[in-house]
Structure 1
Amino acid sequence: MRPGRILHPELAKALATCGHTDIVLVTDAGFPIPKDANRIDLGYYAGQADVLDILKMLRQEIFVEQVAFAAEVKTHHPALYQELQKIYTGAGATFKKTTHEDLVENIAPMAKVVIRSGSLNAWANFALTCSTDPFAWFTEEDITILPAYVERRKRIAQNEIPML
């Protein structure tokens, strides 16, 4: 066993294949997952594994530059929105509003990995855009750092709370 690491072999392998700009889609129990998707099913009972537990675990495992979700989360499920803010505070990630239809029709087919939870939490579908460690790149003095990395480093250093 690997202490402090993902035990699920398919999930560990799938995350290890992700690179910058790849999408990891974390869904509730009822999300319509495309038939050809690289599906990692963690839902084993209604409510378990919960989408928030999965997002907390992923926060420790991968760098994320953007979290896209239906704009209704903020207004229709404020407790979920606040939990998302807690999870991604200081991560350097930004929040992006989208629609449920866009998640289903456009984002899901492009996702490198789709992780289905057992969550019955309303509006709980999140597209995580993978990133790189913003402090590991552009370390040489004679290389100009890209503005996106400057911004992410700043958000992390300031322990910024992401907002829609």
Structure 2
Amino acid sequence: MKPNQILHPELAKALATCGHTDIIMVTDAGFPIPAGANRIDLGFYAGHPDVCDILQVLRQEIFVEEVHFAAEVKTHFPSLYKKVQEIYTGSGAVFRGTTHEELCENYAKRAKVIIRSGSLSAWGNFALVASTDPFAWFTEPDVKILPAYVERRKRIENNEVPEI
């Protein structure tokens, strides 16, 4: 066993196959996962594990440039919004508000992996857009850094709190 690493073999493998712009979804227990999706089912009992527990672990394992979730979270479930902000503060990720329908109909169909939690939290569904380490790329002196990487680096260096 590796210390401080994901122990679930299918989850570790799925994350290792992700590249820039791939979508990783983390959902509540009731999310309608499309047939044929790469489904990693971590939910084993109502509320366990919680969607925020999974997001926290993923925050340590993968680079994320965007976090998409239902915009209602900010106004209808502010404590969940605050937890997700805390998880992604200083990550460089930006928040994107969308609709539950968009998550179900579009993001889920495009997701490389969908991780189902045991969470019973309303609006507990998140689409993470994978990224690369913004400090590891564009390091050669004769390569011009892309503006998106400049911005992500600034958000990380400033320990920015993401907002919708």
TM-score bucket (shorter structure) = over 0.9
Aligned length: 164
Q: Which amino acid aligns with 2:102?
A: D
State whether structure 2 residue 122 is matched by structure 1 residue 122.
Answer: yes
Which position in structure 2 is the counterpart of 1:153?
153
Stretches of structure 1 that go unaligned for 5 or more consecutive residues are: none
In the aligned structure 1, how far is the partner of 2:102 from the partner of 2:122?
17
Q: Which amino acid aligns with 2:34?
A: P
Query: What's the secondary structure of 1:122's corresponding residue?
Result: coil
Which position in structure 2 is the counterpart of 1:33?
33
Q: CA deviation at 1:116?
A: 0.1
Which position in structure 1 is the counterpart of 2:87?
87
Q: CA deviation at 1:55?
A: 0.2
Stretches of structure 2 that go unaligned for 5 or more consecutive residues are: none
In the aligned structure 2, how far is the partner of 1:109 from the partner of 1:43?
20
Q: Which amino acid aligns with 1:50?
A: D
Coordinate RMSD, CA, aligned: 0.3
Query: What's the secondary structure of 2:35's corresponding residue?
Result: coil
Q: How does 1:14-163 map to 2 (within 5 A)?
A: 14-163=14-163
**TM-score between the two structures when normalised by the length of structure 2:** 1.00
Q: CA deviation at 1:62?
A: 0.2
Residue identity (%):
74
- Describe the superposition over 1:10-55 as per-residue Cα deviations: whole angstroms up to 9, x where unpaired: 0000000000000000000000000110000000000001100000
Moved over 2 A (4+): none
